[in-house]
Amino acid sequence: MAMTLGKPKSQSLPPLDDHPEYRPKVALVNRLKTELNAKSSERTQLLNRKNSTAHKSVVEVLSAQYLEGTPTVDARFSLDETITSLSNHIRALVPALEQAEKEERRLRIKVSIETAEEQKGLVREHARTVLQGLLLIQQGNKGIERLCQARKDLGYTEYFHPVGLSDWNEWGNMEDSTSRWSMMLREFLEAGYITTAEHHRLTHGGTTL
């Protein structure tokens, strides 16, 4: 029984970010990235400030602070403490972010596999539409070949050529187990796009699904 060329049904697939389990995973990754960037930036600024006064004595630093306002005797010590604290936070954030990203990737793969499984039926419909189109090209070009052969038998030049795919002549015949046609039909069968009966029919002279 021949297939009728129709438009396969569509299926609405929501964005992955809308998935109830995936959304908080992404939010966590984004939050950790923001915190890591903020603390890294703050530490860099403090290190630059520390380096700018590294060559000065405590007296010189205090003198400069007197000019600016009330001096802080333990300013350098507080700066070192803050830098150390930020470094500890950064060292803790890096593996936390890596773990969060790993869990996000794992869930994305899991949901992707699940949705792909749900859409297999649609893919099969589209694939069968492709195959039907190829079979129609095959039928049309066979008609052109017969016309050319008839012209040749009557003493005329062949004149006409196959149309459609540019390398169509290289596809060979579906009955030939070594042809490109045969290889493609096996792929369709293994993918579940055609049945065993349909495959047998096409490889034994059939022209339609």
DSSP state of 167: T
- The answer on pLDDT for 7 being more than 60 is no
Structure tokens at 102: 């790993």
Condensed to tens digits (0 to 9), the pLDDT of residues 162-190 reads: 888 777 778 888 899 899 999 999 999 99
Condensed to tens digits (0 to 9), the pLDDT of residues 54-81 reads: 666 667 767 777 777 765 555 566 788 8
Cα gap 50→62, rounded to integer Å: 14
- Percent of the chain topping pLDDT 90: 58
Residue 98's CB: how many other CB atoms inside 10 A? 11
The residue ranges of every structural domain in the chain are 18-118, 120-202
CA distances from 158 to 11, 63, 143, 152, 166 (A): 47, 102, 13, 6, 18
- The answer on pLDDT for 28 being more than 80 is yes
C-alpha count within 13 angstroms, C-beta hemisphere, residue 190: 6
Looking at residue 85, its pLDDT comes to 94
- The answer on pLDDT for 149 being more than 80 is yes
Q: 209: Cβ–Cβ under 8 A, 6 or more apart, which residues? A: 1, 2, 3, 128, 131, 132, 135, 194, 198, 202
Structure tokens at 139: 């039928």
Over residues 179-204, the mean pLDDT reads 94
pTM for the full predicted model: 0.67
